[in-house]
Amino acid sequence: MTSDDKAAEGKDELQFIVRAAQQGLPEGLNHRIGDILSFVEGMAPFLDKETIMKMKCRECDEYASSYFPLGDEYDVVDSHEYCHEKAMPFHHLSLFAIAKCTAYSKERQIHLERLALDLVEELHSLLVDKKLYDRRTFACFPIDFQATPHGRGVFIELGHTGEDGFSGSGIRLHLLERLDPGFGPFSSEIERSLAKGESTLVAEASNAARRALDLDRILGRMAERRKMNIVYL
């Protein structure tokens, strides 16, 4: 059965269930229930798993673009999309299981985004006198920051802003509250840090950059105040 056949089957099943429910409504029951069922029936031709996942799941705290197929086998990554709430890849979930899920939340993502902005503000004041060397232009620039949400949390990149926009330096600070694939051999260390129950800051920077910017001292104090753990890549 092709993906199109599966989508059509899901829509047909949805319409069948709605029509059966409409026929079984007792007389005198709140007409709003009938309106809701009619609404679902009208939407059924436009709904499939991919549509619902795009509208709902991919913005949820429990969504992962890929996953570790075994709990502690960090070197084996399955490329299927995954739901942490149901502990199951999406291709094993039906349209109905996805659509009726009430566990949707962006609370952790919003928390991390606010924390990232707080860190950027403090880093900006602490590194105001530091400069980054850009090997492409052979020049030094004042440090700028860019915070970007991603599938595992938020990452802050250090760089500079010029006429062509923001240019990253390769120095990244990842804010995580859950481990998803992407950190390779460092995954087990990050997982141990996350198991302590606090947000984890994963610092991706060369030893030379860490020394030049005094990052270990600066990040250490920032993390200690916020009760965060740090893992250096």
The helix (H) or strand (E) run that includes residue 225 is helix 215-225
Paired tokens of 64: 């992962």
Do residues 103 and 63 touch, judged by C-beta distance below 8 A? no
Please tell me the predicted confidence (pLDDT) of residue 29: 58
Mean per-residue pLDDT, 171-186:
90
CA 75, chain centre distance (Å): 20
**Average model confidence (pLDDT) across the chain:** 86
**Residue 101 confidence (pLDDT) above 60:** yes
Q: Give the domain ranges of the chain.
A: 107-232
Look at residue 27 and tell me whether its pLDDT is greater than 70: no
Assess whether pLDDT exceeds 80 at residue 14. Answer: no
Question: Distance between CA atoms of 111 and 185, rounded to whole angstroms?
Answer: 27
pLDDT of residue 171: 93
Asked which of 6-20, 118-132, 141-155 is least confident by mean pLDDT, the reply is 6-20
What is the structure's pLDDT at 174? 95
In this predicted structure, what is the pLDDT of residue 161?
87
Residue 78 buriedness (CB in 10 A; 0-12 / 13-18 / 19+): middle
Pair of tokens at residue 202: 């994963």
Looking only at the bridges linking them, the beta strands covering 200-204 and 229-232 are: parallel
For 11-35, the DSSP string reads HHHHHHHHHHHHHTPPTTS-HHHHH
3-class DSSP assignment, residue 72: coil
Axis crossing angle, helix 107-126 with helix 215-225, rounded to the nearest 10: 130
At residue 26 the predicted structure's pLDDT band, cuts being 50, 70 and 90, is low
User: Which contacts of 205-211 are long-range, i.e. CB under 8 A and separated by 24 or more positions?
Assistant: 205/170, 205/171, 205/172, 205/232, 205/233, 206/170, 209/169, 209/170, 209/171
Backbone angles phi, psi at 100, to 5 degrees: -90, 0
CA distance 19 to 113: 43
pLDDT tens digit string along 149-161?
876 789 999 998 8
